[in-house]
C-alpha cells in the first residue's frame, strides 16, 4: 500500500473476527461522504500483517491518521465519537492553516 503524500488519510485497521470492528463499520463507511477532503481506507490485519507491523498496530479497531506520508494520530478502540472529533479537529486545523497562508478575513 502506498500512503498518499498529500491530504489526510485515515486507515481503519480491522479483523474480520473482531466484534467491535463489525460494529463500527457502518459508521466508518459513511465518513467519505461526510468528509470528502479526507481519504479513508481499511486494512485487514490478517490479510496484510506487514501493514499492521509497519505501523505497530496492536489492537483492533485502530484508526491511523497519516499526513505527508507519516502517522500523525492514532485512535484505538471503537469510540466513533472520538474518531469523528479527531477528523473534525484535523480538518479545522488544515482550514486555519490555509486561511492564514491565504490571508483570510472574517
Active site residues: 18, 21
The whole-angstrom separation of Cα 13 and Cα 58 is: 10
Q: Which residues is 41 bridged to in the sheet?
A: 11
The set of residues, in sequence order, having a beta carbon less than 8 Å from that of 76 and lying 6+ positions away, is: 59, 61, 62, 63
Amino acid at each position: 500500500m502506498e500512503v498518499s503524500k498529500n491530504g489526510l488519510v485515515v486507515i481503519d485497521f480491522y479483523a474480520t473476527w473482531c466484534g467491535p470492528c463489525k460494529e463500527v463499520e457502518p459508521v466508518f463507511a459513511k465518513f467519505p461522504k461526510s468528509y470528502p477532503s479526507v481519504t479513508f481506507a481499511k486494512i485487514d490485519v490478517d490479510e496484510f500483517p506487514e501493514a499492521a507491523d509497519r505501523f505497530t498496530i496492536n489492537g483492533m479497531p485502530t484508526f491511523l491518521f497519516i499526513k505527508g506520508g507519516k502517522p500523525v494520530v492514532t485512535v484505538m478502540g471503537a469510540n466513533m465519537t472520538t474518531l469523528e472529533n479527531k477528523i473534525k479537529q484535523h480538518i479545522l486545523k488544515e482550514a486555519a492553516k490555509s486561511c492564514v497562508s491565504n490571508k483570510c478575513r472574517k
